[in-house]
Amino acid sequence: MPAALPPRRRAGARARIVDVARTAGVSAQTVSNVLNDRPGFTPETRDRVLAAVRSTGYVPDPAGRHLRTGLSRRVGFSMSRDDLDPRNPFTLAFLDAVLSTASARDQRVLVYTHEVGADDGFRADALRGETDGFILANSTPGDPRVAILDDLGIPYALMGRTLPSQAQAWVDIDNAAAIAPAVEHLIDTGRSRIAYVGPDSRASWIGERHRGVVDTLRRHGLPLPEEWNVTGPPGDVRARLEALLAADQARPDAIVAASDPLARVAVDVAREHGLAVGTELAVTGFDGGVLATSTTPHLTTVEIPVPEIADRVVRRLLARIDGTDEAASGEIVDTRLVIAEST
């Protein structure tokens, strides 16, 4: 039987947990268990409690809960100012997905931005104690933020990879395997003069994408001439593409780009040279974000399942916070090739 409850609240008074319990026909402890994701209730009871929360307008007291549990129910999201560049919206899409999945678990997200390499600033923010843990964007093995969080004993989870000696609290894709179907698709459609376009970056995932292209071409006995291996800063990439696509005889018939923004640059340069993208020149991207469908023609691209990755990263962080995830191994998530008009 539910525990005895105090008298009904006065009209206009703020709803209390006992009001929720009375409405749901359960004890106040059961309401607390449901709201704090503790065991001891059935799915039907959970539904009744959440319905009662909505009908009474009850709002949990975060300050009181923080005092009781030592948890703020806030997580930090760390990103660099470079990640705010609208020309490369992947990290912003990841942040949006993190916000959604965190909100569904009654977590709030504080976003921390720093210049690349501003490790002291990140350490200072981590020491503030405003969050229960951190989610890291665009993390590669050797990321100094991981070392800082390890040193401070602060839980973290990330999209990317960590060093073998660190907690394997990561969710990622296999970049080399993910880009291979794009190359296979081009070859299947009769393309044999295939160029690669990538950024001037030492990020591990960029190196893996390049390796995936080279290995797939090699399996089919196709070369990647040095002049068709187009990498560098954005301005240099555009200039090299302009020279490459201006040639009549030595021009590639397809371009595999390491990202959708670079694929879009390739599409723009091709159109400036009067080439029909999709017929005279095939172009593939990588990310599967909004740029793929806002480019004309739409891009064939490797789609990264950002919402699924964000959900897994948030779940892993919360499990690390409550001590149920030992982070002994990372997780690989599958991608898929989305075929569109650009090929």
335 to 29, 156, 173, 178: CA distances (angstroms): 43, 24, 7, 6
Q: How many CB atoms lie within 10 A of CB 189?
A: 13
pLDDT at 69: 53
Each domain of the chain, given as residue ranges in start order, spans: 17-60, 74-172+306-333, 175-303
The string of pLDDT tens digits covering residues 37-46 is: 677 789 889 8
Contact 263, 342 (CB under 8 A): yes
- For all residues of the chain together, what is the average pLDDT? 89
Question: At residue 82, what are phi and psi to the nearest 5 degrees?
Answer: -60, -30
**Chain center to CA of 146:** 17
The string of pLDDT tens digits covering residues 119-142 is: 888 999 999 889 999 999 889 999
**pLDDT higher than threshold 60 for residue 63:** no
pLDDT at 200: 86
CA distance 225 to 220: 15
**pLDDT higher than threshold 90 for residue 64:** no
Mean of pLDDT values over 190-213? 94
Q: Is the bond preceding 141 in cis, omega lying within 30 degrees of 0? A: no
Sheet containing 108-114: give its strands across: 108-114, 74-80, 134-139, 156-160, 170-172, 331-332
302 to 13, 91, 258, 283, 296: CA distances (angstroms): 54, 16, 9, 12, 17
pLDDT at 169: 96
The CATH number of 17-60 is 1.10.260.40
1 to 134, 147, 162: CA distances (angstroms): 41, 51, 50
Superfamily classification of domain 175-303: Response regulator (3.40.50.2300)
Question: Is 0.85 surpassed by the pTM of this model?
Answer: no
Tokens describing residue 253: 């018939």
CA distance 286 to 251: 22
pLDDT at 167: 95
Domain 74-172+306-333 matching CATH 3.30.420.40: the answer reads no
The string of pLDDT tens digits covering residues 285-300 is: 999 989 999 999 999 9
The string of pLDDT tens digits covering residues 1-28 is: 444 444 455 455 667 888 889 999 998 8
Q: Which residues contact 254 (CB under 8 A, 6 or more apart)?
A: 186, 191, 193, 194, 195, 281, 282, 283, 284, 343
CA distance 109 to 330: 23
Tell which residue, 187, 120, 135, 164, has the closest CA to residue 310.
135
The reply to whether domains 17-60 and 175-303 share a CATH topology is no
CA distance 279 to 299: 13
- Among 91-95, 187-191, 330-334, which stretch is predicted with the lowest mean pLDDT? 91-95
Q: Is 340 helix (H, G, I), strand (E, B) or coil?
A: coil
